[in-house]
Amino acid sequence: MSTILDKILATKRSEVAARRAAPATHGEPSPPRGFKAALDAKVAAGGYGLIAEIKKASPSKGLIRSDFDPPAHARAYQAGGAACLSVLTDQEYFQGHEDYLIAARAACELPVIRKDFMVDPWQVEESRGIGADAILIIVAALDDGQMAEIEAAAIDRNMDVLVEVHDADELERALRLESRLIGVNNRNLKTFEVDLKKTYELVRHAPKDCTFVAESGLTSRADLDAMAEHDIRCFLIGESLMRQADVEAATRALVG
Ligand SMILES: O=C(O)c1ccccc1NCC(=O)[C@H](O)[C@H](O)COP(=O)(O)O
């Protein structure tokens, strides 16, 4: 049975083929802002490293935010104490766009990850072209050779890579890469169920030289404090922040 990830990847492959044939042009972006370094600095200072996500809609929840304003969200996240931004650029399933990343990055000083589905190293060049400081590799979406090629393209451009895993086998594959920034996605991409225990259980067996990011389904300071008891101090949060009337205050309540 095909999963939502299979569907997204099939769409992405044909989309990338079309984009490669007629690439968009953008001005020269400013040099990469250190994404992992920003997370590590927050943790070294005794805080939490928050990647605050700009997410208009999702396959699991549909439209999340109707008054969607990426530069305003970026400023609010920065003022509230986020370390980094994540901007969804996939159009078909998340109502995202590259222009949202360009506008959000220009509105703040935070490093930005392009949250999209990488299937081709060419997308790394495209991501840097729109200013992304980091990209996402989803282990479930790629074989080892593809992951290494995409990671190499990012390293060549001084970009960071967040390597996303869902289970122990994927973690083992992720650790063959150079990146030491690992995201554990608590959302099951077949059922959309979220299980926060997944992060604790996986990280228990992982090497200590990695920065781990708990992703998906986090909604409260209590969730973050519970993760911190298991030595996880970095988080990727989208929906719960995007639903807030006062995004800056909500961000501060999480990590202030
Ligand atoms: O969010 C989804 O429904 C989703 C479905 C299929 C693939 C990926 C999906 N989300 C991408 C993400 O990684 C999340 O946006 C991110 O972890 C933030 O999660 P949340 O705080 O639950 O919005």
Give the domain ranges of the chain. Answer: 4-20+33-255
CA distances from 252 to 22, 74, 150 (A): 42, 14, 34
pLDDT at 191: 84
CA distance 134 to 163: 11
pTM for the full predicted model: 0.97
Please list the residues that pair with 115 across neighbouring strands: 88
Between these two residues, 138 and 23, which has the higher pLDDT value? 138
Ligand 1 pocket mutation pick from 8, 12, 58 by most atoms within 8 angstroms of CB: 58
Whether pLDDT at 1 is above 80: no
Q: Is 164 left (phi over 0), alpha (psi -120 to 50) or beta?
A: beta
Closest CA to 120 of 133, 134, 132, 137: 137
Q: Which atom of ligand 1 is nearest to the CA of 88?
A: 15
Is there a contact between 195 and 166 (Cβ–Cβ < 8 Å)?
Answer: no
pLDDT at residue 114 tops 90: yes
Q: Is 12 in the pocket of ligand 1 (CB under 6 A)?
A: no
| Cβ 240 vs Cβ 251: under 8 Å | no
What HEC string does 67-90 produce?
CCCHHHHHHHHHHHCCCEEEEECC
What is the pLDDT averaged over residues 226-241?
A: 96
- What average pLDDT does the chain have? 96
CB 36 near ligand 1, within 6 Å? no
Indicate if ligand 1 lies below 6 Å from the C-beta of 199.
no
| Mutation pick for ligand 1 pocket among 187, 219, 241 (CB with most ligand atoms within 8 Å) | 187
If you classify domain 4-20+33-255 with CATH, what class do you get? Answer: alpha beta
Burial string for 2-19 (b: 16+ CB within 10 Å, else e) reads eeebeebbeebeebbeee
Whether 89 and 101 have beta carbons less than 8 Å apart is answered as: yes
ipTM of the complex, rounded to two decimals: 0.97
Nearest residue to 253 via CA among 67, 52, 38, 37: 52
Task: Give the residue with greater pLDDT, 166 vs 206.
Answer: 166
Least confident window among 24-28, 178-182, 188-192, 230-234: 188-192
